Amino acid sequence: MKALDALLAEGVAGRRVLVRADLNVPLDGTRITDDGRIRAVIPTLTALRRAGARLVVCAHLGRPGGEPVAEYSLAPVAERLAALLDHPVTFAADTVGDAAAQAVADLADGDVVLLENLRFNAGETSKDDARRGEFANALAKFADVYVDDAFGAVHRKHASVYDVANLLPHYAGLLVASEVDVLKRLTESPDRPYVVVLGGAKVSDKLAVIANLLDKVDRLLVGGGMMFTFLAAQGHPTGTSLLESDQIDQCRQFLSEAAARGVELVLPVDTVVADRFAADAQAQTVAVDAIPDDRMGLDIGPASAALFAEKLADARTVFWNGPMGVFEFPAFAEGTRTVAQSLVTGGAFSVVGGGDSAAAVRTLNLPEDGFGHISTGGGASLEYLEGKTLPGLAVLEQ
């Protein structure tokens, strides 16, 4: 794929550049609670702006269902983007309508406009090629060149990710190029021992990545809500913990395959349980074979956290996707904190696989520069590691 440096070498002064960014940030009303994804696109926007490009930035926020929904407006993002760029950002109140057309027409060299949420238009996510293509054509008319810097969306065959790239000269932004380089390092030539830490809620979300990793990793550590389905596969009681009963047999098969392949699949030995899912719930640590019937596990226990830290100590490469517990609640955050801290202090090249893991790093006030790479796209990272073809990357390679 062609890199941003190639575009800058060609010259972009006076040219309209459509930049697909990932600005899907968490909001509390109109307050952005984590601006990590906005900060991630700043290097690409700054490089283009300083070179005299006229920037048309587009992105999505949430799942508004193809029509305008006030709570999913990108207006608060425009304000934060302007602050981080230290330059005014014009906000267009629609995607390809009159407001957007006028804002783009008014652009001068180095100026920036942010279009309203792409998903306010049903054509963005439509599975109908013609409908998606119609929206892509409207977006493409705003620009001379397309730059994709939205790694968190490259696994989607959406109008702004896939179809527009087929209509304009296309380039990978700095973020996308960096993410791909890191993932190639994980899949093609990882330094060993190579350890993968998986957490989060559901085993079903990570079935394909587990299957694909079993012949690539040296150790697989499993925590979070998904651990209880594995524990059930070992015959342990899980109380009222999150459990995917239909995946127990699959987890049992993973345990068997890991043993056959010589992969060390490590499960927690204790868990922090509570009688309800709440920040003020009474926490109790129990062994994984002694979870009371009326309790749910909300974190790995201290012995498990120490075990996981030990299994990470000699790692040279680590991929971590998914928290170990409900890190948003202080009483159930220590498992995630211990695992993350062990990556900060260890000697491995560590990759944080986006989403909740990246949010945990920031929520727990861990130093972001203590990790080798913090991905902006959890889903995209997982699908890449599954070996899938990602539409947004495939089209950039054409």
- pLDDT confidence of residue 42: 98
Q: Are strands 54-58 and 16-21 parallel, antiparallel or unpaired?
A: parallel
Instruction: Summarize pLDDT for 133-149 with one digit per residue, the tens.
Output: 999 999 999 999 999 99
pLDDT at 248: 96
pLDDT at 385: 87
Which amino acid does the sequence have at 38? I
pLDDT in tens, 370-392: 999 998 888 888 888 888 899 99
- Per the annotation, the verdict on 123 as an active-site residue is no
Q: How far is CA 327 from CA 79, 225, 330, 356, in A?
A: 29, 12, 6, 9
355 is catalytic: yes
Active-site residue, from 239, 335, 353, 355: 355
What is the structure's pLDDT at 376? 85
Distance CA 100, CA 82 (A): 17
pLDDT for residue 268 is more than 90: yes
Which residues are annotated as part of the binding site for substrate? 22-24, 37, 60-63, 119, 156
Q: What is the mean pLDDT of residues 170-196?
A: 94
Question: Please, which residues bridge with residue 56 across strands?
Answer: 18, 113
CA 232 – CA 246 distance, rounded (Å) = 11
Calpha distance 116→94 (Å, rounded) = 5
Residue 259 φ then ψ, to 5°: -60, -40
Q: Are 204 and 180 in contact (CB under 8 A)?
A: no
Concerning whether 235 is annotated as a catalytic residue, the answer is: no
292-330 pLDDT, tens digit per residue, is 999 999 999 999 999 999 999 999 999 999 999 999 999
Under 8 Å CB-to-CB from 315, ≥6 apart: which residues?
193, 194, 195, 219, 346, 348
CB atoms within 10 A of CB 383: 18
Q: What is the pLDDT of residues 106-164, one digit of tens each?
A: 999 999 999 999 999 999 999 999 999 999 999 999 999 999 999 999 999 999 999 99
- Give the strand order in the sheet containing 54-58: 90-91, 112-114, 54-58, 16-21, 145-149, 170-172
**Catalytic hit among 37, 49, 219, 337:** 37
**Binding-site residues for (2R)-3-phosphoglycerate, please?**
37, 119, 156
% helix / strand / coil in the chain, to the nearest 5?
Answer: 45, 15, 40
The predicted structure's pLDDT at residue 149: 98
C-alpha span between 132 and 154 (Å, rounded): 16
pLDDT tens track for 29-82: 999 988 989 999 999 999 999 999 999 999 999 999 999 999 999 999 999 999
Question: Known catalytic residue: 2?
Answer: no
What are the residue ranges spanned by the domains of the chain?
4-176, 190-386
pLDDT tens digits for range 227-252: 999 999 999 999 999 999 999 999 99
Split at pLDDT 50, 70, 90, the class of 205 is confident
**Quick one: which of 9, 382, 52 has its CA closest to 171?**
9
Average pLDDT score, the chain: 95
* Domains 4-176 and 190-386 equal at CATH topology level: yes
Annotated binding-site residues read 22-24, 37, 60-63, 119, 156, 206, 297, 328, 354-357
pTM > 0.85: yes or no: yes
User: In 10 A of CB 289, how many CB atoms?
Assistant: 12
pLDDT of residue 338: 97
Q: Which one from 202, 252, 362, 388 is the annotated catalytic residue? A: 202
In CATH terms, the superfamily for domain 190-386 is Phosphoglycerate kinase, N-terminal domain (3.40.50.1260)
Q: How far apart are CA 101 and CA 92, in angstroms?
A: 9
pLDDT, position 207: 87
CA gyration radius, the chain? 22
Q: Which of 152, 301, 335, 379 is catalytic?
A: 379
Please answer whether residues 392 and 398 qualify as being in contact, where contact means their C-beta atoms are separated by less than 8 angstroms.
no
The domain defined by 4-176 carries CATH number 3.40.190.10: no
